[in-house]
Structure 1
Amino acid sequence: MLQFALSLLMILLCAGGIVALAQVLAWQEQAASPDVRRHRLLWLVLPVAGTVLALMLGAVFLLMTIWSPQSADILASL
């Protein structure tokens, strides 16, 4: 049961990450000038994208780990 709960949580995390990336990119594209777009890209979009993608990669790794054959040992240590 813990596997299913963690799987659902990780799927929701990935979906939320995709929504967050879409929001940040849409906000960046609405800037009035190319200079402001470049500034938003460098100071907000890239750090947010890196963080969200790292979280999503961790979520996928956790999913692969808890559904592996050794998952009983891993979940027992949680």
Structure 2
Amino acid sequence: MNPLAQFGLSLLLLLLCVGGVLVLALVLAWQERAAAPDVRRQRLLCLVLPVASAVLALMLGAVFLLMAIWSPQGPDILASL
């Protein structure tokens, strides 16, 4: 893989991870701003947990792809995907 492409893709994946952390912070802050404990619990179950699961799965995939890109067997791994 071209080193410039490796760097660009790495930067993109790191930005994805930073964006994921920001989304998690935003969703958790929104959940905590509810006035009543019942509303906070409802927000947690209906929105925060599903969004957090999806964002964390995306971030885990990004980290895996980042490690695959920079490994010596990176082109072979990426070709098999």
* TM-score calculated relative to the size of structure 1: 0.92
1:35 aligns with 38
Moved over 4 A (4+): 74-78
CA distance in 2, matches of 1:29, 1:22: 11
CA distance in 2, matches of 1:65, 1:15: 19
Residue of structure 2 equivalent to 1:10 = 13
Unaligned 5+ runs, structure 1 = none
Q: Percent identity?
A: 76
Deviation at 1:2, TM superposition (A): 1.1
Moved more, 62-71 or 35-44: 62-71
1: CA distance between counterparts of 2:32 and 2:44? 9
Q: What residue is the counterpart of 1:24 in the other structure? A: 27
Which consecutive residues of structure 2, in runs of 5 or more, have no partner in the other structure?
A: none
**Paired letter, 1:58:** G
Paired residues, what number?
Answer: 78
Letter in 2 for 1:62: L
CA deviation digits over 1:35-64, x for unaligned, max 9? 000000000000000000000000000001
RMSD: 1.6
